[in-house]
Amino acid sequence: MQKTFGMISLGCDKNRVDGERLLGEIRRHGCKITDDLAEAEVLIVNTCAFLNEARKEAIDTVLEGNRYRKEGKLERIVVAGCLPEKFADELYPALTEADVFLGIDDVSELFPALERSFAGERVNAVGTGLHGALLPRVLTTPAHYKYLKIAEGCSNHCTYCLIPRIRGPFRSYPQDALLSEAEELGPTEELILVAQDVTRYGEDRGENELVTLLRRLTSLETVHSVRLLYCYPERITQELIDELARNPKLVKYLDLPLQHSEDRILRLMGRKGTRADYLELLGKLRREVPGIALRSTFIAGFPSETEEEHRALCSFLEEANLQNCGFFAYSREPETAAFRMKEQVPVSVRKRRVRELYAVQREISRAFLQNFVGKTLRVVCDGIDYEKSCFFGRAYFQAPEADGLVYFTSSRAREGESCDVTVDRADIYDLYGHTEVNQA
């Protein structure tokens, strides 16, 4: 089968890795990959199903892609990932625009399913692939930073979240396989570890192995630095803190999904911590890992959240002084425990509370960035912004597509290389500066 493939990958960076494995399977079969959907004969839509909005976006993307059957060269549409994994039974009969359904572990079945499709079948191949196989990838990030997905699934069972029902229980990938994959990715300025709960790594096999994995990954000559995302606060151990403090290859940065600050709401969410626990942890991290950057995510309008609890979360943000945060209005998802809870907060109130949380955080982030004006930062160049006529990159406290950017002018800068940027000004999320005239 010599077809030209296009892909639209939706959702998080964990899903991005899944999409890269699908592209790797296409490359392994010697087929062409195109960014021009008008040239694609097979379109893969790699879907997210975490929230209702994500499911709607996925279905709309399939419907929009279907127009290329008339306007382009499209012959088949493959729907892959979370949406068919969880909802194939109800979607497969209805979403007839899709010719093939694949689940999260069905990369190996892409071509067998397509062969059947081109022979005249509609194919639902969900759940038929090689479970847990770390198949080769085609990278979709710039060459200097790459994601390494260290586990699949989740066992936390937060009351608002569908992930355990979509992706199953937490399953760590073997260390040796991850080491091999990291080496196969080639020279890497920044290796970003992702999973639904990075800090749980190894516990499903009887013992937490995260620090051991970090030591092995940072011992690789091809890896310049390692960044951690999605670290649950209750699993930040002293061993991990010590490793962050002493290991020069670990980026002094943690993403901690706290989700709320008030004890009653945290209990309803199925979270393990308390407001006092969180503040104590943030203080400990700052004392023992000087300069560490901390970001988080929070949910506004969880069932029965009062105005008083909302205002308390606003005050928590001021006390916690996190560098950056994301805020989301609670989404009422069927099959979650929170769906059945009483006192659901009206959607308009949820959205208003999100706006108010962002307003508080904007001032915190603005003050944090203002501290760098007139100072010099080490910045890795991510590329050129042609509209702004300058380069852009990230300092250590900025994760890709999550935090802000550093825009800078330079006589010479290369993607993937680091340079010293003198900061001239700051806004709410971004910094602006320049390098010295002769700096490479």
Q: Residue 438 pLDDT > 70, yes or no?
A: no
pLDDT tens for each residue of 256-276: 999 999 999 999 999 999 999
pLDDT at 437: 61
Token pair, residue 271, equals: 């979270």
pLDDT tens for each residue of 221-256: 999 999 999 999 999 999 999 999 999 999 999 999
Cα gap 132→135, rounded to integer Å:
9
User: What is the pLDDT averaged over residues 36-47?
Assistant: 96
Question: Is 249 exposed, middle or buried, given 0-12, 13-18 or 19+ CB atoms closer than 10 A?
Answer: middle
pLDDT at 130: 82
Find all residues with CB under 8 Å of 112, minimum gap 6, and list them: 125
The mean of the pLDDT values for the chain is 95
SS3 assignment, position 327? strand
Percent of the chain with pLDDT over 90: 94
Q: Residue 440 pLDDT > 50, yes or no?
A: no
Token pair, residue 101, equals: 């359904």
**Which residues partner with 423 through β-bridges?**
433
Token pair, residue 361, equals: 């955080």
> What domains are defined for the chain?
4-124 (3.40.50.12160), 141-255 (3.30.750.210), 376-434 (2.40.50.140)
pLDDT tens for each residue of 365-382: 999 999 999 999 999 999
Cα gap 347→340, rounded to integer Å:
16
